[in-house]
Every structure is written in structure tokens, then in C-alpha cells.
Amino acid sequence: MPALDRVPLEALRGPRRGWVARLVARPGAQAVLSRLPLGATLARRDGAEIFDILQGFVASQVLLALVELDLLEALLDGPETPEALARPRDIAPDRMAALLQAGAALGLLRHHRDGRYGLARRGAAIQGVPGLRDMIRHNATFYRDMADPVAVLREEGETRLSRFWPYVLGAAGDVPAPEAARYSDLMARSQVLVAEDTLRSVSLRGVRRLMDVGGGSGVFLTAALTRYRGLHGVLLDLPEVIGQAESRLAREGLSDRVDLRPGSFRAGPLPGGADAISLVRVLYDHDDATVADLLARAHAALPPGGRLIISEPMAGEARPDRAGDLYFAFYTMAMGTGRARSPARIAALCRAAGFDRVRTCGARRPYVTRVVTCVRPH
């Protein structure tokens, strides 16, 4: 086999890339690369990026520690020394200093010359994003499952996430109230950004009655009704959840514009009368058979010309995306019932249910949500 520094450039560009990969993977190949001008740059960059992947779990756990110990909130009033932050948290000052230094390495904190640590812009942003701290805390459950990713891939045993999200497997009346409340609270906090980006992606002008299926505590419907004053809403969700929606809508003065429908979309037809239906972070909780059934029910509930709005993180496109193909793909896998789908796959499911004029909207923040819309034909 030829030496690495004699590999023709065409081999790197042509159909023999597999051969080049095997060559680069040979023992000693990196040493050869490091002696080449371009190769040395590539080897250093590859090494740094591989190590960045390797230490990613530790970085996420450092972030969790900063949040769990309320350090980001404590530093809102100004920089502090490790000693001052360590005492009330029962942590040795040298270990607190290590945590703060790690936070600074992640760009969340700033290390001042006098030894104190303060918030960097990115750390302050965590405090200002609705639901982000709750999601960081919740991720501890996901990370316990991902401690054995091969078991998740092989579907070996019950995951912690599958126990956290019992509503996915349950029908109306099967979900204990404390678990429903915990789920709804987390979803309500994280749904604020989802609602914001969804309404940026799609206009509801001309819609008279919007039915939000699986609408939880009413975050999306509240945002839609606030933005569109002539809009009326229907919210369908489990009885254990819908009380929270009732409270939210009452606080916002919207109760007279919403019809609350306790129930499961699995049980019987969806209510009629809406000229648009929204499914916000619903499909990716379920397998294809459940999704196909729900889309068929939505098609039957809408009038000709009625619109369907699907908003959730997506994965599986030709150009891989870290948010969808890394985080959400494995999160839904660990749930045990869900699946992050590509816009093309969602479009195919919509067409199979009888919809047409399927459109994928531009995504402002793909790690928050993406939107697919379609129409029931006349």
C-alpha cells in the first residue's frame, strides 16, 4: 500500500474514499499526516473535534451542576469568589473553584483577574430563556439512559424516560395526576419558545377556529389567541391535564374564546367544527401507526380546505443536524415510543392520510422546532 504522503488528490475526491478512510485509520497514519503541511492542520483539527465530542457529556454535567446549585442565578448580582459561593452549598472551596473554572471554559462564566467569577453573556441567557433550566434538570433523566446507548438501541429493558412520560402509553384516565402535572409543567415551560417559533413560521390569518390536539396546559393556544384577536380555540387533551389549561386560559382572560375538550385523540373521532388543527410536539411522541391514525382522524375532522399545522423537532434529512439527528433522535428512542422524523417523512404520512399542498416552513431555530403544514383538499 502506498505511503500516505503519496496518495493522489483524485483518491480523496473520487469513488475510492472508503480506501482512503481505511488508509487514514491504519496505525501510524496520524504520525505520517502530522509531517505534512496540510495534514498537520487536519490532524490537529480532527483531534480537537474528536476530543470535543468525547468531553461533551462532562460539559453537560458541568452545566447541570451550575443550574442545580443555582450558581447562575447567584451571579446575577455580580461576581463572587469561589469561597463565598462554596460555603452555603456545602462544597469545598477548591472544588467550587474547579466547577467555576469549568463554567468559564464553556463560556458560561467569566474569570476575573481578582479571582472572582461572574456571568458571561451565554450564562446570563440561560436564565432568560423560558423553561431552559427545567429542561437542563430534566436531561439528567435522559443522560442516565444514555449511559448505556447500546441498550437503548437494542431496546433492552425499561428506560427512565419511558417511566417519566407515561401519558404516551396511556389513554384518558390511565395517567396518575402527579405524573400528569409533572409532565404538563415541564412541557408548559419548554413550549413558550415552540409557540413563538411556530407562529413566526405560519400565519393563522383567515382561521376562525383552531383546534390544538394534545394542547397540554394551553401554552400554544394562548399564544395564538393573543396574537389573533378574532380567533377561537378548541383544546383537546387528557382530563388530568386539561385543568391546567383551564387555569392558564382564565389567568389570560381567554376562557370565553376556548372550548375545552377532555379526552384522548386515540379514543374515537376528533371533534369537528375547526378549520385548522395544530399538532405541536405531538407526532414525535408516537410510532408510525399511531401517527397515521391521528392524521386520518385530523383529516376526517377538518372541512375541505382545512389546514393542519405540525410543529416539532425533526431529523433524518440529507444534511445531518445535531439537534434533530443527535439529541432528539436519541431522546425519542429512549422514550420507547417516539421517533424524530424528517419533513419528507411527515409529508409522506400526511399525503397518505389524504392531505395535499404539503409545505415545510423555514426554521428560525431548528433545535426548538420546525413546521410542516398541509391542507385537506376540496
- Taking only the tens place, the pLDDT of each residue in 355-378 is 999 999 988 888 899 999 999 999
Confidence of residue 177 (pLDDT cuts 50, 70, 90): low
Can you tell me which residue has the cell 382545512? 306
pLDDT at 145 (0 to 100): 94
The verdict on 205 and 290 lying in the same domain is yes
Provide the pLDDT for residue 376.
97
Q: Residue 294 in contact with residue 267, Cβ under 8 Å? A: no
Question: What span, in angstroms and rounded, lies between the C-alpha atoms of 160 and 103?
Answer: 28
Neighbour tally for 274: CB within 10 Å: 26
Is residue 137 in a domain? no
List strand residue ranges (DSSP E) for 155-251, in order.
Answer: 209-213, 232-237
* Residue 16 belongs to a domain: yes
Kindly state whether residues 191 and 313 are assigned to the same domain. yes
Question: Is residue 260 domain-resident?
Answer: yes
pLDDT at 255 over 80: yes
Buried b (16+ CB within 10 A) or exposed e, 276-293: bbbbbbbbbbbeeebbee
Average pLDDT, the chain: 87
Q: What distances in angstroms separate CA 253 from CA 120, 136, 191, 248, one per listed residue?
A: 38, 31, 20, 9
Write 123-126 long-range contacts (CB < 8 A, 24+). 123/66, 123/72, 123/75, 124/72, 124/76, 126/67, 126/72
Assigned domain for 17 exists:
yes
Question: What CATH number is attached to the domain comprising 69?
Answer: 1.10.10.10
Q: Is 278 helix (H, G, I), strand (E, B) or coil?
A: strand
Residue closest to 149 by CA, chosen among 164, 137, 166, 161: 161
Res. 31 pLDDT band, cuts 50 70 90: low
Give the domain-ending residue among 54, 74, 93: 54
CATH of the domain at 320: 3.40.50.150
For 374, the enclosing helix (H) or strand (E) is strand 370-375
Cβ atoms 242, 217 nearer than 8 A: no
Under the banding of pLDDT at 50, 70 and 90, the label for residue 128 is confident
Q: 10 Å Cβ neighbour count for 28?
A: 8
pLDDT at 208: 97
Residues 282 and 158 in one domain: yes
Considering the domain architecture, whether residues 212 and 323 belong to the same structural domain is answered as yes
Residue 153 lies in a domain: yes
Q: Are residues 225 and 310 in the same domain?
A: yes
The answer to whether residue 135 sits within a structural domain is: no
Same domain, 337 and 239: yes
Model pLDDT, residue 111: 97
In this predicted structure, the answer to whether residue 90 has a pLDDT above a threshold of 90 is: yes
Number of folded domains that form the chain: 3
Claim to verify: residue 152 and residue 172 sit in the same structural domain:
yes
CA–CA separation, 6 and 194 (whole Å) = 52
Q: Within this chain, do residues 176 and 47 fall inside the same structural domain, yes or no?
A: no
- Estimate to the nearest angstrom the gap between the alpha carbon of 185 and the chain centroid: 16
Cell of 326: 443527535
The answer to whether residue 176 is domain-embedded is yes
Average pLDDT over residues 135-162: 91
pLDDT exceeds 80 at position 242? yes
pLDDT recorded at residue 9: 45
Reply yes or no on whether the pLDDT at 81 is more than 60.
Answer: yes
Reduced to 3 states (helix: H, G, I; strand: E, B; else coil), residue 222 is: helix
Q: Specify the pLDDT at position 184.
A: 61
Q: Which residue has the higher pLDDT, 169 or 333?
A: 333
List all residues 6 or more positions away from 226 whose beta carbon is below 8 Å from its beta carbon. 252, 254
Can you give the pLDDT at residue 106? 96
Res 182: pLDDT: 61
Mean pLDDT across 257-280: 94
Mean pLDDT of 87-93: 96
pLDDT tens per residue across span 291-334: 999 999 999 999 999 999 999 999 998 889 899 999 999 999 99
Please check whether residue 157 is in contact with residue 106, taking contact to mean a CB–CB distance below 8 angstroms: no
360 SS3 class: strand
Are 65 and 79 members of one domain? Answer: yes
Residues 208 and 124 both lie in one domain:
no
Look at residue 133 and tell me if it is in a domain: no
For the cut 80, the answer to whether the pLDDT of residue 130 exceeds it is no
- The β-bridge partners of 311 are 280, 371
Residue range 189-236, pLDDT digits in tens: 778 889 999 999 999 999 999 999 999 889 999 999 999 999 999 999
Give the range among 156-170, 245-259, 287-301, 321-335 with minimum mean pLDDT.
156-170
Residue of 200, 199, 365, 378 whose CA lies nearest to 275: 378
**Co-location of 101 and 215 in the same domain:** no
Distance CA 328, CA 367 (A): 9
Domain that holds residue 102: 56-128
Question: Are 116 and 201 contained in the same domain?
Answer: no
Model confidence at 132, pLDDT cuts 50, 70, 90, reads: confident
